[in-house]
Homo-oligomer: A and B are copies of this chain.
Amino acid sequence: MTPLTFPANSARATMDDVARLSGVSLKSVSRVINGEPHVSANLRAKVEAAIAELNYVPDAAARSLAGSRTFIIGLLLDNPSPHYTMKIQKGVYNVVRSHQYHLRIDNVDSTVPDEQFSAQLEALIRNNRCDGFVLTPPLSDNLLLLDFLEARKIRYVRIAPALDNARGPGIAIDDAAAAAAMAQHLWDLGHRRFAVMRGPASHMAAARRRDGFIAELERLGSATPIIDADGGFSFEGGIAAGETLIAQSPRPTAVFACNDDSAAGVMAACSKAGLKVPDDISVCGFDDSWIARSVWPYLTTVYQPIEEMGQAAAALLLRRDEQEGKISQLGFQLVIRDSTAPPRQTQG
C-alpha cells in the first residue's frame, strides 16, 4: 500500500487531502493524528488508511503555530568534555527522534556574570520555543537557570544534578556508591595506603566521589590517613597533583582519581618519576571515558551509563505527566583493566 519510493518533488499531502480522501472532517483527522479519545474505530481506520496511502506527515511549523507543542527538545550545553557531551547528545537524540521530535542544541556560558547569563537565556527562547530542555552539568546545578525556566513554566530534566534534589526531575548515578566500590576493589587487592585526586570544588559530583571513597575505606578499617590533592579534572592538573601525591613518604600504593583525565595525568607523573603502573603503584579513574582506553596500561575506572542517562532524561521530558523533583538513579559498573594490581610484597 505504501509506495516504497516516494517521489522527491511531489507536493506533500496535507490534512485536507487526508480528510477529503477518507471522507471525514478536518478535525477528525486531527483527532486521529493526536490520538485523542472519542473516535470511533471505524473512523480511525478510514483516516489511517488515507494517511498511509497519501504518505501524510503533519507539518511541524503549522502544528506549533496553531498548537502549544513545538516537537522540539532542547539540549543545553556548557563546555563539558566532548566525550561526555556526545554520549549525552546521542542518548537524547535517539529517544527524541523515536518520538518524532527533533533535537535542538543550545550552548550557554555560565561563567559570565548573572546579567549576561540571563541575557543568553532570554535570547535562546525568544523566537523559537521548545517543549523542554535537557540540562547537562554544570547547568544541572545552576539555580539561576532553574529559576529562569520555572518562572516561564518551561519543563526541564537535569542530568547528574548534585544540588537541591527536590528542585526538578533528574537522572543520576550514585557517585558515592561507585567510589566506594572502587575503594573495595583496591582494598581487596591488598592496598592499605591510598591517595585521592579530587576534582574542582565547583563540581559537586567530584566531592561525592572523594567522600564516598574515603568513607568506604574507613568503614573497611583503613588506619592510615588518606591524603588528597586537587587534579582539576584535567590531564595537566593530574600531572601536577600526581607528582605531589607520589612524592609522599611512605608513598601511597594506590591512587584514586575522581575522573579519567586526571587519572591519566597521574599515570604520566608516574612515568616521569620512573614508577611503573601497576607494578609500583595502582592508578584508577572515574567515567570510563575514551581516555581510559587511550593510555597504557588501560585504566581501571568506573563506567557510568552516560548515553543511557541522556535517553532517560529525554524519556522523562517526553512523558508529559508532571513529576516533581524526582531523581532517578541509574546503575554504574566497576571496569577493572590493567592499571590496578596488588601492591608489591615488600610494601604490602
Do A93 and B65 form a contact, CB below 8 Å, given A83-B82, A127-B59?
no
Cβ of A295: which chain B residues have Cβ within 8 Å of it? 268, 294-295
A62 interfacial by beta-carbon distance below 8 Å: yes
Interface centre among A9, A122, A127 (most CB of B within 10 A): A127
A70 interfacial by beta-carbon distance below 8 Å: yes
* Smallest Cβ-Cβ distance to A291: which chain B residue: B294
A203 interfacial by beta-carbon distance below 8 Å: no
* Smallest Cβ-Cβ distance to A100: which chain B residue: B127
A64 interfacial by beta-carbon distance below 8 Å: yes
Cβ of A325: which chain B residues have Cβ within 8 Å of it? none
Cβ of A105: which chain B residues have Cβ within 8 Å of it? 75, 89, 93, 103-105
Do A8 and B65 form a contact, CB below 8 Å, given A57-B126, A58-B127, A271-B296?
no
Could you tell me the dominant secondary structure of chain A's interface residues?
helix
A8–B296 CB distance below 8 A: no
* Smallest Cβ-Cβ distance to A270: which chain B residue: B296
What is the CA–CA distance of A104 and B60 in the complex, to the nearest angstrom? Answer: 14
Cβ of A46: which chain B residues have Cβ within 8 Å of it? none
Cβ of A346: which chain B residues have Cβ within 8 Å of it? none
What is the CA–CA distance of A115 and B87 in the complex, to the nearest angstrom? Answer: 27
B152–A8 CB distance below 8 A: yes
Interface string of A97-135 (1 = CB under 8 A from B): 100101111110000000100000011001110000000
A85 interfacial by beta-carbon distance below 8 Å: yes
For the complex of A and B, list the 7 residue pairs with the smallest distance between their C-beta atoms, beginning with the closest.
A268-B296, A82-B86, A82-B82, A60-B128, A61-B64, A61-B65, A8-B151
